[in-house]
Amino acid sequence: MRLQYPPNLRIIEVPCTGKVDILHLLQAFEQGADGVMVVGCMEGDCHYMVGNLHARTRVKRAQEILNTVGLGAERVAMYNLSSGMGGRFAEIVTEMTNKILELGPSPIRRAMGKGQMVREAGEATT
């Protein structure tokens, strides 16, 4: 559809969000991710029946952990959309990016010595 969305998104494809382990989420932050989005099918439409429901519980658990350890639950989020919803995809990426910009770089990244404030979406980051 050639819609524009912020370039700071690294996409990792999985056959079903049910494949996403909570460790994937946590280790992404360990390695310096500022935010993680889990984008799954609409609830009820999962090809594997409940994969996206499992993903939801794992995202929720990750949010609790991130809150407790001082990173903030908002850095990880789950979205549900169908593969035909290109416009919505662009929307949610923009939404998440703006949220993360507000929160600032992950404290992990800062501690790793790599965090720099990005002024606007689209500006290259270090």
Partner 1 sequence: MIKAKPKPLEEIIDNVKDFSKLLIAGCDGCVTVCEAGGLKEVKVLASALRLYFTQAGKQVQVDEASLTRQCEKEYLAQLNDRMEGYDAVVSLACGVGAQYLAEMYNHKPVFPGVDTCFLGVNEERGLYSERCQACGRCILAETGGICPITRCSKRMLNGPCGGSDKGKCEINPDIPCGWELIYERLKTLGQLDRFERLVEPKDWTTSRDGGPRKIIREDLRI
Give the Cα separation of 38 and 77 in Å (integer). Answer: 6
> In the complex with partner 1, which residue's Cβ is closer, 30 or 123?
30
Interaction between residue 107 and partner 1 (CB under 8 A): yes
Please report, in angstroms and rounded to a whole number, the separation of the first and last CA atoms in the chain. Answer: 29
Tokens of 15: 């056959």
To partner 1, the closest distance from the beta carbon of 70 in angstroms equals 5
Interaction between residue 50 and partner 1 (CB under 8 A): no
Interaction between residue 114 and partner 1 (CB under 8 A): no
Give the Cα separation of 83 and 30 in Å (integer). Answer: 29
Build a one-symbol-per-residue string for 69-88: x at contacts with partner 1 by CB under 8 A, - elsewhere.
Answer: xxx-----------------
